[in-house]
Amino acid sequence: GSDAFQETDITGVTLPITKHNYLVTRAEDIAPTIREAFHVAKSGRPGPVVVDITKDAQVGRCAPDDGAPVRLPGYRPCHRPGAMELDEAARLIDAAERPLVFCGHGVVKAEATALLRELVDKGDLPVACTLLGLGGFPASDPRHLGMMGMHGEAWVNEAVQRADLLIALGMRFDDRVTGNLASYARSAKKIHVELDPAEVGKNVAADVAIVGDVKDVLLGLVPRVAWKKRAAWRGEIAALRDDSEAHDVQRLPDDGRLLAAHVMADLHRLTEGAALIVTDVGQHQMWEAQYYRHESPRSLITSGGLGTMGFALPAAIGARFARPGDEIWVIAGDGGFQMSAAELSTCMQEGVKVHIAVINNGYLGMVRQWQDFFYEKRYVATPIVSPDFVKLAEAHGLRARRVTERGGIEDAVRFAREAPGTCLVEFRVTQEDTVYPMVPAGNDLADMIRRPRTKGAT
């Protein structure tokens, strides 16, 4: 307690970035505090909880814990949706001509994907996803549009601006989704379903606000919604999709370059969309969201709100222990991967089998893209020097391979699958490629920078 060595006020430091934290000073308080901490972390809107246990408590003696249930009289994380709000939401859905459902992470966390499917079936409703909502509605369904927002599909953003009703399920309307709030979906009424009351109305005013777990809300809402076909609206969106796909990099003639989009599209094809993908943060994260079509919930693990570089490999190791039967692919950039590359030792030590795809373009790519668009190509601190990733993996006793052309992707995926443990594949992709479309920060959602149509596109 004299601040001599390795002493920090952990509860004070972590207070702004945790849901709750505890300081335990007595041995007999450890077990009930841990039990309470897990309850708080998992209930309501999930969040991290820190338990700081003093050295004296750790080495103290105590009687066996009786396992008493957690009782927190002042903590009420769950809200039940009201009948009036559900009735009004159903009325707006039935009356809408151009409705659009937003599938956020709350749908996945609430295990409400089947109920979402029922709602979509009854109302013939198109569905757009947030980054963390991908997989909450199957990508193979014709009513699935894709991701919206800053790097969302162009036709999805256009559809948002044309919609007359937005049904937002378990999402926050953050600025990566909305762009300029003053011009955001001005013709649309908004139904906002959200577990955390602090998020309702924070960014976008809701015509109907329903605070509650998405699953509970849909259980009450689906029976109230009438069956209705919306062929005209879906046809309008299909026309927008046709125009947008003409800008797709996949339609460019093969000029020998290896693009990150090629890696994502081929990885989806070769895994048949059945892998568990864990991404880092940056351009590759957005390309994955665009080209790997997720069919089921929890098939994508990524750092969304905080955007933590270095996230992918440690998260994938955890996913391997939680889901030992899944095929797990790490997708990381050359910059982010170096932030946690030391975990290759953990992979070897624990006998973990994950496949690692390092998308190496020689830059901190997303920052370089902003420098390209907005700062006259002043590439300051974004070109990076990386180690030889193949040799780095091999130095840890792991198998590795390098790919420089699209024709090598399939063999590399097979090589990784056949490896007895973790395998790293370095994809040397085109250096100055760009994630399109892009809505510049603060701009209108329809004000997208698009990939130019290129002669020879098919």
- State the total domains in the chain: 3
Is residue 205 included in any domain, yes or no?
A: yes
Q: Compute the distance between CA of residue 353 and CA of residue 345 in angstroms, rounded to an integer.
A: 12
Cα distances from 148 to residues 121, 128, 154, 205, 280, in angstroms, run: 21, 6, 8, 19, 19
Which residues are within 8 A (CB) of 101 and not within 5 positions of it... i.e. 6 or more apart?
116, 119, 120, 125, 126, 127, 128, 137, 167, 169
3-state SS, residue 98: coil
Looking at residue 347, which CATH number applies to its domain?
A: 3.40.50.970
pLDDT of residue 175: 93
Give me the residue label for tokens 């590359």.
Answer: 341
Residues 292 and 377 in one domain: yes
Is residue 340 included in any domain, yes or no?
A: yes
pLDDT of residue 21: 97
pLDDT of residue 280: 98
Give me the residue label for tokens 């029922």.
Answer: 118
Q: What does the angle CA 362 – CA 366 – CA 371 come to, to the nearest 5 degrees?
A: 95
Q: Where do the H-state alpha helices sit in 312-404?
A: 312-322, 334-338, 344-350, 365-374, 389-395
pLDDT of residue 77: 86
pLDDT of residue 164: 98
Identify the domain boundary among 45, 77, 109: 77
Q: Compute the distance between CA of residue 283 and CA of residue 364 in angstroms, rounded to an integer.
A: 9
Residues 391 and 261 in one domain: yes
Q: Choose among 439, 449, 448, 451: nearest CA to 175.
A: 439
Residues 409 and 275 in one domain: yes
Strands ordered across the beta sheet of 300-301: 300-301, 276-279, 328-333, 355-360, 423-428, 399-403
Residue type, position 265, single letter? A
Q: Compute the distance between CA of residue 171 and CA of residue 132 in angstroms, rounded to an integer.
A: 9
Is residue 438 included in any domain, yes or no?
A: no
DSSP conformational letter for 246: T
Is residue 436 included in any domain, yes or no?
A: no
pLDDT of residue 1: 67
Q: What is the pLDDT along the chain (458 residues), one digit of tens a residue?
A: 678 888 889 999 999 999 999 999 999 999 999 999 999 999 999 999 999 999 999 999 998 888 888 999 888 888 889 999 999 999 999 999 999 999 999 999 999 999 999 999 999 999 999 999 999 999 999 999 999 999 999 999 999 999 999 999 999 999 999 999 999 999 999 999 999 999 999 999 999 999 999 999 999 999 999 999 999 999 999 999 887 777 787 777 778 889 999 999 999 999 999 999 999 999 999 999 999 999 999 999 999 989 999 999 999 999 999 999 999 999 999 999 999 999 999 999 999 999 999 999 999 999 999 999 999 999 999 999 999 999 999 999 999 999 999 999 999 999 999 999 999 999 999 999 999 999 999 999 989 999 877 555 54
Residues 213 and 88 in one domain: yes
Residues 289 and 332 in one domain: yes
Q: Both tokens of residue 240?
A: 């927008």
Task: Please say whether the beta carbons of 135 and 107 come within 8 A.
Answer: no
Residues 422 and 302 in one domain: yes
Q: Choose among 157, 96, 108, 425: nearest CA to 290.
A: 157
Is residue 458 included in any domain, yes or no?
A: no
Residues 220 and 275 in one domain: no
Residues 197 and 297 in one domain: no
Is residue 233 included in any domain, yes or no?
A: yes
Looking at residue 186, which CATH number applies to its domain?
A: 3.40.50.1220
Q: Where do the H-state alpha helices sit in 46-110?
A: 55-59, 83-95, 105-109
Residues 206 and 315 in one domain: no
Task: Please say whether the beta carbons of 91 and 165 come within 8 A.
Answer: no
Range of 29's domain? Answer: 1-77
> Which helix H or strand E contains 81, and what residues bound it?
none
Residues 100 and 156 in one domain: yes
Question: 376, exposed or middle or buried, with CB in 10 Å at 0-12, 13-18, 19+?
Answer: exposed
Give me the residue label for tokens 């997303």.
Answer: 366
